Amino acid sequence: MKTTFLLLFVFIGTASAQSQPSPTPTPSPEPIRETVTVSADKPQPIDEVSKTVNTITGQEMRDRADITLVDSLRSVPGFRVQQLGGFGRTASIKTRGLRNQDTSILIDGVRFRDAAAISGDATSFLSDITLTSVSRVEVLRGSGSSLYGTNAIGGTVNFITPAAPTGWHGQVSGAFGGLGFGRFRGNTSYGTDGGKFGFNVGVSRTAYTRGIDGNDNALNTNFQPRFDFKPSDKTSIGVRFFFTDARVRLNANPDTPADPPVTNASIIDAVEGVNFVADADDPDAVQESRAFNGVVNFTHLFTSRIWLSGYYSGLQTKRQNDSGFSTSHNDGEIHTANVNANFAPRFQTIKAGYEFEHEKYSNENLTPSGLDNNWTRAFQSSHTLFAQDVISLVGGRLQIAGGVRAQWFDLKMPEFTLNNTLFANAATVEPEAAYTFDGAVSYYFRSAGTKLRGHVGNGYRVPSLYERFGSYFSTFFGPEFVALGDPGLKPEKTIAFDAGIEQSLAADRVRLTATYFYTHLRDVIGFGSVPDDRFFGYLNTKGGIARGAEFSGTFKPTRSTDIFSSYTFTNSDQLEPQVAGTGVIDTLGIPKHQFTLVATQRIKRFWVNLDVLANSDYLGPIFSNWTYQTYLFRFDGNRRVDLTAGYTFPINKDKFNLRVFGTIENLFDDEYFENGFRTVPRNGRAGVSFGF
């Protein structure tokens, strides 16, 4: 019945990009037009992009009154977005049936990831990226490692901040609602005539003082300034900062009752309060996280066809977890320098460059007694050469794109607590280099409005410093450190393929898309028993296979109506069970069916938006503190519907505007759980915004 419910919506259609709504109605609809930068340095029309790309515009985010980046990504085909316990709690993106760490996060084209995370990805900070100052979000689905490096195995999310338009502009907004919700956001920008100088500064403060269980207070502050300067017609310099500071109370993990099954060999149909206990309030558990990213970029044109560009990025992350029994500090630091030369002869754009990256990981564990205190610091550098070529032929209808990337690693001598000598020989280890390629081709039949495309590429993920040097202090056999990491781990390797067809109809007011995807995780990093004196730890192992199909459609029947809908089928399996003893090879957390619908209707200055997300059931693990076993539960999928409406009042002949809006989350109060964690019940919020 659940599957039938989802399949009924397949007829709503398909498309690869959501369109930007027009602010005022006119007698006839306009075509869907968009450009993206996710696959090249300069914007390309969607018709000319040979990969699977989605664009979420700033207008769409405002129409839905989205608060965080993960809110906006829920409607992307092939994306499985989870948040464990509401705002501020752990959020994850699983792209096309893959893992959390297989999606790369970029801010203005520069990687954002936490060097202190277990997998070295951005998952630790996904829930902290609020929509403070963003012009659009571009999503590349499919392998992108040859373009964007580590973690871009399943896809890439590029969070793009706005450049300042000419003159003074600004906005101040406030909102409040249930669960103790309160939010303030302010933006101001100024740009000179001719674009010689401009700046944009945004700040926001978001708080839930009660949260789902009444004691789940979460606070978040974002600060995003950007400065652009053109000292000459041929040279441009940009400086951008991103700062986030968050504090959230965490609940205890879901658990089983005191009498769980003796064996975990069978799958349990989850019934809260009967065979599993949802996340319980834990007044002692608090997490604080902070990230600061500063980027300086430049571009210099030698001629209209030859230019040099590059950037420096400094990223620092800090996370502190207090459990009431101990405190852990996890600090990461990544410095990246990138320079590339670009040549654009007729019909193509060629890029080649070099990138240096240095990262640092620091972990400190403190206990009240001080007897078990320990710390670790580890370092890793890499050198990368990359090249990319995009060829456009037959008047732009034929697109051929290719890329290669080679990365070599250099491990530094780690530093440990005085009596920890587990990795004393780390400086002699030479990690394996990573080589990736990427190729895509598309042809657009302009008269028929049809585009055929195919893409193949291999991906990689750099072993994190925790996976290389992780350890813990044990007193089981006497005071000693036990190694979890392996300095000689090889990079993860994947091969991926996708092919699709896109069809434009009704004078480009309708776009339909169908895509088949296949990804083979050939060599991955797992955790388990190892054949050495570590007993268990991180090791290279075999992965799995994820395949499926994405169908989506964008419809613009009038200039005042926008409809986007998608259906995704995913079949994702592991070569070995993720939970020992179960014999289940289905990838955990992945529903086979997912449906999304986003519809916006405008009536002059009034708008209403309907946002629907529904998926089928899925398998999730729960660890029992009674038997010290992990059990597999089958959780029902959600049927979440959000409704947003608002009205814009013009002031002084549209020089100023006052916008009022309101949202009802989970309109039909659907009760569902994400891996046993409770989710937001029906909840309302309202806000007002003043702009000029």
Name beta bridge partners: 226: 200, 240
Q: What integer pLDDT is reported at residue 475 of this predicted model?
A: 62
- Distance in angstroms (rounded) separating the CA atoms of residues 578 and 570: 18
Q: What integer pLDDT is reported at residue 479 of this predicted model?
A: 63
**CB neighbours (10 Å) of residue 597?**
18
CATH number for 2-691: choose from 3.40.50.1820, 2.70.98.10, 2.40.170.20, 2.70.150.10.
Answer: 2.40.170.20
Q: What integer pLDDT is reported at residue 37 of this predicted model?
A: 52
Q: Residue 71 in 3-state DSSP?
A: helix
**C-alpha angle 59/61/65, rounded to 5°?**
115
Which pTM does this prediction carry?
A: 0.90
Closest residue by Cα to residue 94 from 655, 436, 568: 568
Q: What integer pLDDT is reported at residue 419 of this predicted model?
A: 64
Question: Which pairs from 390-398 meet CB under 8 Å and 24+ separation?
Answer: 390/39, 390/40, 390/348, 390/349, 391/347, 391/348, 392/48, 392/347, 392/348, 393/347, 394/443, 395/446, 396/45, 396/47, 396/48, 396/444, 397/443, 397/444, 397/445, 397/446, 398/441, 398/442, 398/443, 398/444
Q: Which residues contact 561 (CB under 8 A, 6 or more apart)?
A: 29, 555, 599, 600, 601, 602
Q: Domain residues of the chain, as ranges?
A: 2-691
Closest residue by Cα to residue 102 from 64, 55, 58, 152: 152
Q: What integer pLDDT is reported at residue 15 of this predicted model?
A: 31
Give the residue ranges of the chain where pLDDT is below 50.
Answer: 1-34, 38-41, 47-48
